[in-house]
Structure 1
Amino acid sequence: MVDLHCTLHTDKNQKEITQHGSVLFPVACYEDDMACTGVPIHWHDEFEYILAFNGTIHLHVGTEPITLRQGAGILINAGLLHSVSHSLRKPSILRSLVVHPDLIAGSPQSCYWQELVLPFYGRQNLPFLLMEGNEPWHATIAHLMMHAWDAITQETEAYTIEARYVLSKALYILCQNLPSSPPSISRDVSLLERMKLLLQYIEQHYAETISNQTLMRLAACSESVLLRSFKKTVGTSPMNYLQNYRIQQASSLLLSTDMTSSEIAIATGFHDISYFTKIFHRTTGLAPQRFRAAHRTK
């Protein structure tokens, strides 16, 4: 089956703690509507393939802003911070597979690990591969990934075997076409550690009053450093990120609880219901209760 998820859970280092699939079958398929909410910054031990299934998808991978037009895909390496931006009022649906290499190769001592996983997995100088369709093999990879996605979500006969075979084939083609000059990405450790600290604080205290000064004191940095850090990593200012995070949490509560709009506003740090309604409508294109009616699973 497919998971439609608008929230995720991370530890103190922004590592995602959600288990993708199971120990026996460590792969998961997701379909996210970015008109519902974005995907906050996180990382995990699996690699992830993301396809812009409908509309345009805006991501941040490490410090790189990336735009995927419909039909384009990206393979994000393990251990890399990444996020997906909310899309205001526009069709913006992604499909993704989060795959642990154990599914493909089993033991790191196996020939499959050496030939199919090691050339890409965890390489710091190969953070992601963008596949926009300008090479014939891009379409082949997209087809194979969505073949696996369909088999898993529809639970077709012997889908676990089918998915492993198809994903192995995709990685084989990928390894045959790895770029000689991988995309560069910032490895500013101090920046990433600072952002992990600040994002963890926002995740834990978003219902409270938070200002730039709050975050500056926490990170022991100047306002200019604070603003540059957020812009470079998540593509926006600290207060915009905080506001978007609050709206994301409010969206989740609207879809998963029967709390009133006023209760949700207070629970997510908006202490003025009128302001909450205004910002929610501006962000999602719908008033809170209309959003609930439009997106809640019947």
Structure 2
Amino acid sequence: MQLKRIKIGSNLKELTSHRTVTVPVACYKTTIRQNIQGYIPLHWHDELQFVYVLKGEAVFRVNEETIVVKEGSGLFINSGRLHMAEDPSQSGCVYLCLNVSPHFVLSPELFTIYMYPYIQSTNLSYVVIDATHDWGKSILRAILHIRQMIQQEPLYYEIDIGIQLAHIWQNLITNGFRLEYDQAEAVKHERMKKMLNWIHHHFNEKILLEDIARAGQLSRSECCRYFKRMLKTTPLRYVNDYRIQKSVVLLQQADLNVSDIAYQVGFNSTSYFIDHFRRLMNMTPLEYRKNNGQGRKVPPLPTQ
């Protein structure tokens, strides 16, 4: 099985480009456990995301909530929301992922009325697309149609994709969402993004609790409360777990020894790195390398 890797920048924004040349739309198939980490790691993007689970079931985490999406159903994830996906039941989950720029869905005039308020809303991070409802079936059919258009590129297919996207959006918003905007809630999630961004940018350096708190413009105690409430862990535990995540990628390179990897990811002690790796992975780094990364997958970090 060929392992894949999702490219994510230090600010957690997805860097992998899936778009077509002519339209800001991507529709691709994902097998969760084929990712090099065994799951789709925490990230965000400006695009709207629509998921259609074709096989098995996926567990998505969007902001502070966990959602199980079963085969035949789907999920909408709003622009800018931190999210990840895993397949803890090892169901062999495969899903279609449709990413689209919000500005491509509607004209500028309609965008202001029917798109912008939904993107900015703090109470609309995701919507489960229920295939037992007509509106859900319609959205899922449109996702399949868009994928077909991208693959076959028939004449004027870009126009057809635009029509399908407007149809998807209309079906989604006609469910009567009561939009809310909570400034405090928006600030909270932006601070969490800033702290995670800082950690992911400085993980291989010496990190103190006050450094993380400063990145989120919080006190040390507030920083700890944020991580406990939103990620169910402590800030420094998150740092070390993230370092293990990065080491898994480096262990794929046979020319690097364990000590080199330990220092590259920010541990100042090889023995401490090995102990932490064993605690998280239930095996040593060398055992993981011997399995060529095909054995136990690295457990996902807690997320919003």
Gaps (5+ residues) in structure 1?
A: none
Alpha-carbon displacement from aligned partner over 1:179-216 (angstroms, at most 9, x marks no partner): 22347686524322321321122111212343545434
| Structure 1 residue 143 corresponds to structure 2 residue 141 | yes
| Structure 1 residue 204 corresponds to structure 2 residue 201 | yes
CA distance, structure 2, for counterparts of residue 98 and residue 133 of structure 1? 20
Tell me by how many angstroms 1:156 deviates. Answer: 2.4
Describe the SS at the equivalent of 1:57. Answer: strand
Alpha-carbon displacement from aligned partner over 1:4-57 (angstroms, at most 9, x marks no partner): 54331254xx54455441562212234252573444444332211123444433
CA distance, structure 1, for counterparts of residue 21 and residue 142 of structure 2? 23
* TM-score, normalised by the number of residues in structure 1: 0.72
| Structure 1 residue 175 corresponds to structure 2 residue 170 | yes
2:130 is aligned, of 126, 129, 132, to: 132
CA distance, structure 2, for counterparts of residue 100 and residue 174 of structure 1? 12
* Cα RMSD for the two superposed structures: 3.9
Match of 2:152 in 1: 156
Alpha-carbon displacement from aligned partner over 1:118-142 (angstroms, at most 9, x marks no partner): 3876242544322133423213322
Describe the SS at the equivalent of 2:152. Answer: coil
Aligned length: 280
Alpha-carbon displacement from aligned partner over 1:243-282 (angstroms, at most 9, x marks no partner): 4433432343445x44436143432234335325524634
Is contact 1:73-1:131 (8 Å) kept? Answer: yes
Describe the SS at the equivalent of 1:287. Answer: helix
Q: 1:52 to 1:233 in 2, by over 3 A?
A: farther
Is contact 1:52-1:94 (8 Å) kept? Answer: yes
Match of 1:47 in 2: 48
CA distance, structure 2, for counterparts of residue 274 and residue 83 of structure 1? 29
* TM-score, normalised by the number of residues in structure 2: 0.71
Match of 1:81 in 2: 81
Is contact 1:216-1:222 (8 Å) kept? Answer: yes
Match of 2:245 in 1: 248
| Structure 1 residue 190 corresponds to structure 2 residue 191 | no
Is contact 1:58-1:68 (8 Å) kept? Answer: yes
CA distance, structure 1, for counterparts of residue 263 and residue 275 of structure 2? 11
CA distance, structure 1, for counterparts of residue 39 and residue 282 of structure 2? 15
Match of 2:68 in 1: 67
Describe the SS at the equivalent of 1:97. Answer: strand
Query: Taking every aligned residue pair, what percent have the same amino acid on both sides?
Result: 24
Tell me by how many angstroms 1:73 deviates. Answer: 1.6
Within 5 Å, which residues of 2 pair with 1:116-127? Answer: 118=115, 122-124=119-121, 126-127=124-125
CA distance, structure 2, for counterparts of residue 217 and residue 133 of structure 1? 45
Is contact 1:250-1:265 (8 Å) kept? Answer: yes
- The amino acid across from 1:165 in the alignment is D
Q: 1:143 to 1:253 in 2, by over 3 A?
A: farther
Is contact 1:231-1:237 (8 Å) kept? Answer: yes
CA distance, structure 2, for counterparts of residue 87 and residue 186 of structure 1? 32
Match of 1:7 in 2: 7
Is contact 1:77-1:123 (8 Å) kept? Answer: no
CA distance, structure 1, for counterparts of residue 71 and residue 280 of structure 2? 26
CA distance, structure 2, for counterparts of residue 50 and residue 261 of structure 1? 39
Tell me by how many angstroms 1:84 deviates. Answer: 0.7
Q: 1:104 to 1:149 in 2, by over 3 A?
A: same
Match of 1:278 in 2: 278
Within 5 Å, which residues of 2 pair with 1:248-267? Answer: 248-254=245-251, 257-260=253-256, 262=258, 263-267=260-264
Tell me by how many angstroms 1:99 deviates. Answer: 0.8
Q: 1:233 to 1:81 in 2, by over 3 A?
A: farther
Q: 1:32 to 1:238 in 2, by over 3 A?
A: farther
- The amino acid across from 1:133 in the alignment is A
Tell me by how many angstroms 1:225 deviates. Answer: 2.4
CA distance, structure 2, for counterparts of residue 167 and residue 252 of structure 1? 38
CA distance, structure 2, for counterparts of residue 127 and residue 218 of structure 1? 24
Q: 1:205 to 1:38 in 2, by over 3 A?
A: farther
